[in-house]
């Protein structure tokens, strides 16, 4: 009787373990069915193709049943943190924060370009024609230290002043709207490394353009790029490829259908179609998934001490990225 009871207990335990295993596996399968993709963007018309992707459902069409989570940040810091903890799979930001991240050990790479935009150093002092005309009292507004605008300013400072960091002590970190208000209201801010639509607001208010990003670089360059973590690229290549296709379709749509794009996006940005058309038509605004100028940024940032070394492009991009 005792042996029979033990056998029954063993059968019961085996059955219970099998049941628990089945429940666990079932839960795992259910979780997989509910997988999602996290995409992080920032603010402005530089990200217009992403709004097209949302409005047209280009990504959902390729990944039916997959939840798409869109998040918006005011800068790259939150995006980097979200990618580190796995909440964000594709992040959009300027070129320089990506290079700094790689230099600091971030296991991400460029997955695509998104847009090129005009960058301009605008001053409220009419007598300033170059950085040589600035004094120690001038204060220059930038978005944040080591942002792309800061890197461009340092490149020009090295050319005109002989020291890339000659103006670093005069920099003030401010949002673009606050910078415009400060520049035009006669505060200590006498210059702003600006982007659309703020450049036109400042010029219309009496500001003068000292130099543009294209002047400094000598050619158009990618301003906003897309990054993805290396592990995501390896483990979820089907999702990665689907996103790449959807991004390319979105960029092609906005380039081939500018009027339809303006009609779709004016309500999203909360402005009139006429104003959005004007902003998207600014000189220097180019939407493209190709990467332009990254190698030069990497080289110059290394020379100016923003990063420890310039890396070859094959260490910076995934293997399907087109770059020049």
Q: Give the chain's count of helices (H) and strands (E).
A: 14, 11
Beta sheet of 108-116, edge-to-edge order = 67-72, 36-41, 90-94, 224-229, 108-116, 286-287
Q: Where are the domains of the chain?
A: 34-116+222-313, 118-215
Question: Is the CATH number 3.40.190.10 carried by domain 34-116+222-313?
Answer: yes
pLDDT at 5 over 90: no
Give the closest residue to 198 by CA, choosing from 143, 254, 132.
143
The answer to whether 130 and 209 are in contact (CB under 8 A) is no
Residue 159: pLDDT over 90:
yes
139-142 sheet: strands from edge to edge = 171-173, 139-142, 189-194, 120-123, 208-212
pLDDT score for 196: 86
Helix (H, G, I), strand (E, B) or coil at 266: helix
pLDDT category, 64, cuts 50, 70, 90?
very high
Q: Give mean pLDDT, residues 231-243.
A: 97
**Tokens linked to 26:** 């079932």
Whole-number Å distance between alpha carbons of 142 and 161? 19
Beta strands in 86-128 (DSSP E): 90-94, 108-116, 120-123
Residue 28, SS3?
helix
CATH superfamily of this structure's domain 118-215: Periplasmic binding protein-like II (3.40.190.10)
Give the model's pLDDT for residue 19: 37
Q: What is the C-alpha to C-alpha distance for residues 40 and 260, in angstroms, rounded to an integer?
A: 24
Output the six-digit token pair for 201: 């607001």
- Place 282 in a pLDDT band, splitting at 50, 70 and 90: confident
What pLDDT sits at residue 229?
Answer: 98
In order, the DSSP letters of 263-309 are: HHHHHHHTS-HHHHHHHHTSTT-EE-SSB-SHHHHHHHHHHTTSSS-
User: Residue 150: which residues within 8 A CB-CB, separation 6 or more?
Assistant: 96, 142, 143, 144, 171, 193
Per cent of the chain over pLDDT 90 is 81
The kind and range of the H/E element at 190 are strand 189-194
Mean pLDDT score of the chain? 90
Weakest mean pLDDT among 7-21, 119-133, 230-244: 7-21
Mean pLDDT for 22-45 is: 63
Average of per-residue pLDDT across 147-167: 97
Q: Average pLDDT, stretch 31-41?
A: 75
Average pLDDT over residues 170-183: 95
Domain 34-116+222-313 identical in fold to domain 118-215: yes
Task: Supply 142's token pair.
Answer: 């930038």
Contact 34, 66 (CB under 8 A): no
C-alpha torsion angle, residues 240, 241, 244, 248 (rounded to 10): -170
CB 209 within 8 A of CB 203: yes
What digits encode the pLDDT tens for the residues 79-120?
999 999 999 999 999 999 999 999 999 999 999 999 999 999
pLDDT in tens, 122-146: 999 999 999 999 999 999 999 889 9
**Residue 150 — very low, low, confident or very high, per pLDDT cuts 50/70/90?**
very high
Question: Could you give the CA distance from residue 291 to residue 222 in angstroms, rounded to a whole number?
Answer: 6
**Which run of H or E residues covers position 280?**
helix 273-280
Are 126 and 208 in contact by the 8 Å Cβ rule? The answer is yes
Q: Considering the chain, what percentage of its residues have pLDDT values greater than 70?
A: 90
Task: Tell me what the mean pLDDT of segment 181-209 comes to.
Answer: 94
Residues 68-74, mean pLDDT to the nearest whole number: 94
Token digits of residue 119: 């960058």
What does the alpha-carbon distance between residue 103 and residue 297 come to, in Å, rounded to a whole number? Answer: 13
Residue 236 φ then ψ, to 5°:
-135, 55
């Amino acid at each position: 009787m005792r042996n029979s009871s033990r056998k029954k207990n063993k059968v019961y335990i085996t059955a219970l373990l099998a049941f628990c295993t089945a429940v666990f596996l079932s839960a795992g399968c259910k979780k997989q069915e509910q997988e999602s993709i996290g995409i992080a963007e920032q603010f402005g018309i530089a990200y217009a193709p992403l709004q097209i992707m949302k409005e047209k459902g280009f990504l959902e069409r390729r990944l039916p049943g997959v939840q798409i989570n869109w998040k918006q940040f005011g800068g790259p810091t939150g995006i980097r943190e979200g990618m580190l903890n796995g909440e964000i799979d594709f992040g959009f930001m300027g070129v320089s924060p990506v290079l700094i991240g790689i230099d600091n050990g971030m296991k991400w790479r460029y997955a695509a370009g998104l847009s090129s935009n005009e960058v301009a150093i605008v001053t409220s002092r009419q007598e300033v024609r170059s950085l040589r005309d600035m004094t120690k009292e001038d204060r220059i507004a930038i978005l944040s230290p080591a942002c792309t605008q800061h890197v461009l300013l340092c490149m020009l400072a090295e050319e005109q002043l002989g020291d890339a960091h000659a103006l670093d002590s005069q920099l003030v970190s401010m949002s673009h709207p606050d910078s415009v208000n400060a520049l035009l209201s006669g505060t200590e801010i006498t210059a702003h490394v600006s982007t659309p639509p703020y450049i036109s607001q400042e010029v219309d208010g009496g500001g003068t353009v000292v130099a543009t990003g294209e002047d400094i670089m000598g050619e158009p360059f990618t301003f906003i790029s897309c990054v993805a973590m290396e592990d995501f690229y390896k483990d979820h290549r089907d999702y990665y490829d689907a996103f790449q296709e959807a991004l390319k379709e979105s960029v092609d749509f906005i380039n081939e259908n500018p009027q339809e794009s303006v009609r779709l996006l004016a309500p999203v940005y909360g402005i009139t179609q006429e104003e959005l058309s004007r902003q998207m038509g600014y000189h220097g605004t180019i939407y493209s998934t190709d990467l332009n100028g990254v190698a030069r940024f990497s080289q110059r940032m290394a020379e100016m001490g923003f990063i420890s070394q310039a890396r070859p492009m094959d260490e910076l991009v995934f293997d399907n990225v087109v770059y020049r």
